[in-house]
Structure 1
């Protein structure tokens, strides 16, 4: 999946993205979206959640970390911003597994996958979720 993304931004663009993520509370917002999925899974697919969430995270985390590490070195991304990117990309992978369940609240698949594939980085949400729209740069 991330192998398909060609992400390239200037140091100034990365600084702006990072600032927008901080100002918008992107970390809290995405933690809530991850929570939406885990709560749904515990109510609707408890065995799948129990058997696969940690396995998937363990499987994909090294791949995501390696990918973001290369981006960080090549494009001057600081460690804090790199952790935002790792979180987003890891959860995009995890959601790709759970998308087979109808009704699962899939924030990353629905809102971020296409952005990353177009070299756009999600960095906020305007409105009260699920209404509103994603902010990207």
Structure 2
């Protein structure tokens, strides 16, 4: 356990059964399933998906500016560094390769989302923020899914998962 990542979060991340439910039906509102792995590769690597996750990261960051919480924001880089080390050393080695998915692209996307989930979780535990975008993506990873895109004009529309 690190200074910023709770032991529970580490355990939850390490217990994920990665990709175990790809393409299987799911009964969650505002979710669309993509079963074509070529399209999953395209969507997860698209500028649209990257812009959505970047926008959500910026939303967390802008909250600090709006509330004049600059001292709390200073921890961001430290949390991210600890998250990157944890993901690189413990998470990436257990993520399986899936035929039809480009591993580098998948690893980059998962890493970005998990780092922001860790940041989001840290600030939620400190009762500083209430955002949940990356927590929602994390829940889908826990369900054996792969969030990979958005159908519609964000935030309206549906999250696409494999």
For structure 2, the residue ranges without an aligned partner over 5 or more in a row are 1-8, 23-34
TM-score (norm 2): 0.69
Q: Is the 8 A contact 1:122 1:134 kept in 2?
A: yes
Say yes or no: does 1:116 pair with 2:118: no
Aligned structure 1 segments of 4 or more residues deviating by more than 4 angstroms: 12-16
* Greater RCO, CA 8 A, separation 6+: 2
C-alpha deviation, 1:16, in angstroms: 4.4
Partner SS state of residue 72, structure 2 = helix
Q: Name the structure with the higher helix share.
A: 1
Give the Cα separation in 2 of the matches to 1:65 and 1:25: 25
Coordinate RMSD, CA, aligned: 2.5
Matching residue within 53, 57, 64 for 1:41: 64
How far did 1:23 drift? Answer: 4.0
Q: Deviations over 1:30-68 (max 9, x none)?
A: 011101110112222321112x10111111111112312
- The number of equivalent residue pairs is 132
Report Cα offsets for 1:3-33 as digits up to 9, x if no partner.
13110368x9765432221346211210111
TM-score normalized with structure 1 length: 0.80
Q: Mark the structure with the bigger radius of gyration.
A: 2
